[in-house]
């Protein structure tokens, strides 16, 4: 879908590389630019893992199908080559802070003046304006904590807990991709690129936009409650006889409780005055949850799935990631892909969130190659930019490239 689009990514960790990674799956030519020692996330498992594990599935997932160039941006020859590369691109994605980019002549104003059609995507913790625009921000700090998501998510009275690796980053990567695609479409009409500004903070707040809208309108928001204090006790979690938890949800119109009461074999509960309305169910939430707990503990998840499906009730099992990895529906939906390792083998990983079906039954979204080694394609890319053997040797002697 994006064949013919060249993307240059000057970024580390996850959020910005995730956006470029999806573009690579969709057919764009993506060149990943790293410092000579490589993206810091390459060493993540060596730095934090107690187990002797090989490879880096986090890096492979977001960087598959890209070509790799390693260059010292602080070296004048390196900065010159990188600028030449960026000016050959359609899209430039970066999470380098503005000051460092300006020193290398890679700031938005400079590049826009030299190539007005370039689309420039900036990914930061806190945005490009304001007193804190240069503050470093990782997803647990900017997306999770500063945005209010951590506080809102934790049940009232409990301590804050960390989000999982890259959760805020990947959400921000999708937001960045959204802006880039809009700019590519706009460019077909105007011939001009634009600045795309994505931040972990803004994306984090948008991820809880429904609650934030309530806060802004009424000046207050209900806290996240425990199971027995839920505003709607029917939108809840119940443990089955097999030990698996079941997520139960109601629709917002029609017969709310009747289908659930029939599914559990207690149709009379739907006529019980304690549970007739949303307000009465909320007032008697603890009693209702206790009753439902007792009923759901009588059968395993498979039986409850059958009964709830018969009544067209919305439900889902609360799965572990080990169970998700074996989920047949996830497989059918194209969730999983194989990433080649560059040595003749491959490993199972996660596909992008959108499937692009072709009429012949194939998909336009697909893994197009392994993640690059540090600087794997440096000489190849420099030659494409017009550098000859002597120029490349000069850059190597000056420490601009490895």
β-sheet bridge partners, residue 198? 123
β-sheet bridge partners, residue 94? 10, 122
SS3 147: coil
64: exposed, middle or buried (C-beta count within 10 Å: 0-12, 13-18, 19+)?
buried
Helices and strands (H, E) in the chain, number of each type = 18, 11
Phi, psi at 67, each rounded to 5°: -95, 150
Identify the CA nearest to 128 among candidates 90, 86, 96.
Answer: 96
Cα gap 155→302, rounded to integer Å = 29
103: left (phi over 0), alpha (psi -120 to 50) or beta: alpha
Q: What share of the chain is helix, strand, coil (3-state, %, to 5)?
A: 45, 15, 40
- Of the residues 25, 90, 139, 169, only one is catalytic, namely 169
Cα gap 8→82, rounded to integer Å = 9
- CA 264 vs. chain centroid, Å, equals 37
170: exposed, middle or buried (C-beta count within 10 Å: 0-12, 13-18, 19+)?
buried
Host H or E run for residue 120: strand 119-124
Host H or E run for residue 139: none
Alpha carbon of 99 to those of 93, 133, 134, 135: distances in Å?
A: 16, 10, 8, 11
169 is catalytic: yes
Residues designated catalytic: 169
């Amino acid at each position: 879908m994006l064949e013919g689009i060249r993307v240059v990514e000057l970024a580390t960790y996850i959020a910005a590389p995730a956006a470029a990674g999806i573009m690579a799956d969709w057919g764009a030519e993506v060149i990943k630019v790293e410092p000579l020692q490589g993206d810091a996330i390459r060493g993540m498992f060596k730095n934090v893992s107690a187990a002797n594990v090989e490879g880096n599935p986090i890096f492979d997932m977001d960087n598959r199908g890209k070509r790799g160039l390693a260059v010292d941006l602080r070296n004048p020859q390196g900065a010159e080559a990188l600028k030449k590369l960026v000016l050959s691109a359609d899209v430039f994605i970066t999470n380098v802070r503005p000051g460092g980019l300006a020193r290398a002549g890679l700031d938005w104003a400079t590049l826009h003046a030299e190539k007005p059609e370039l689309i420039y995507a900036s990914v930061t913790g806190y945005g490009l304006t304001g007193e804190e625009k240069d503050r470093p921000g990782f997803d647990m700090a900017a997306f999770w904590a500063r945005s209010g998501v951590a506080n809102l998510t934790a049940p009232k009275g409990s301590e804050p807990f960390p989000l999982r690796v890259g959760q805020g980053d990947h959400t921000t990567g999708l937001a960045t991709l959204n802006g880039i695609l809009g700019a590519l479409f706009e460019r077909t009409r105007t011939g001009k690129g634009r600045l795309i500004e994505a931040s972990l903070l803004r994306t984090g707040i948008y991820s809880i936009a429904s609650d934030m809208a309530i806060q802004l309108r009424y000046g207050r928001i209900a806290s996240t409650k425990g199971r027995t204090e839920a505003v709607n006790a029917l939108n809840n979690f119940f443990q089955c006889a097999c030990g698996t938890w079941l997520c139960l949800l109601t629709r917002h119109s029609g017969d709310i409780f009747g289908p659930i009461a029939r599914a559990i074999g207690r149709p009379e509960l739907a006529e019980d005055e304690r549970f007739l309305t949303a307000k009465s169910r909320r007032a008697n939430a603890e009693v209702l949850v206790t009753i439902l707990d007792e009923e759901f503990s009588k059968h395993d998840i498979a039986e409850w799935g059958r009964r709830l499906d018969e009544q067209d009730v919305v439900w889902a099992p609360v799965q572990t990631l080990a169970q998700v990895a074996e989920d047949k529906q996830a497989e059918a939906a194209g969730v999983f892909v194989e990433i080649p390792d560059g040595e003749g083998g491959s490993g199972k990983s996660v596909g992008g969130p959108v499937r692009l079906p072709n009429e012949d039954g194939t998909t336009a979204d697909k893994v197009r190659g392994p993640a690059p080694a540090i600087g794997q394609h440096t000489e190849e890319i420099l030659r494409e930019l017009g550098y000859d053997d002597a120029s490349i040797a000069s850059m190597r002697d000056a420490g601009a490239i490895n």
